[in-house]
Structure 1
Amino acid sequence: MAEIKYEIIEKIAVLSESTKGWKKELNLISWNGRDPKYDLREWAPDHEKMGKGITLSKEEIIELKKGLNNLDSIE
């Protein structure tokens, strides 16, 4: 399997942390030298290991923000 290269350009938010220290984070990341995208996934404390996640373009993150702003309440 080819090595995946990444660079965390900007740390935006930590959403939660497990008892083992893994953190669910929203970051701006460049994957394999490509243009950075917004990325939501779990990371090991040293950022050497990661869980499955999703990447979003700027346009997609704007639409997600609009949708979240439209929520009346979260129960």
Structure 2
Amino acid sequence: MANLKYEIKETVGIISEGAKGWKKELNLISWNDREPKYDLRDWDQNHEKMGKGITLSTEELVQLKKILNEIDLN
């Protein structure tokens, strides 16, 4: 697998933490020197290893927020 270059520009928030210390985080990340996008995935404590995740543009994140705001969680 080719090496991925990434830079976490901003940690928006931590969603949860697993028993082994991995955290599910929403971050703003630049992948391979591209424009930063919002990224939701699991990370180890040092941000050296990562799990599978999803990357969203600002427009996609706005649409997701609209959808989530419409969900009745009660």
State whether TM-score is above 0.5: yes
TM-score, reference length from structure 1: 0.94
Per-residue CA deviations over 1:31-71 (Å, capped at 9, x if unaligned) read 00000000000000010000000100000000000011111
For this pair of structures, how many residues does the alignment match?
A: 74
User: Structure 2 unaligned runs (5+)?
Assistant: none
Structure 1 segments, 4+ long, off by >2 Å, are none
User: Structure 1 unaligned runs (5+)?
Assistant: none
Following superposition of structure 1 onto structure 2, how do residues 10-49 of structure 1 map, counting pairs within 5 Å? 10-49=10-49
What's the Cα RMSD here?
Answer: 0.8
TM-score, reference length from structure 2: 0.96
Aligned identity (percent) is 66
- SS of residue matched to 1:64: helix
1:3: how far off?
1.1
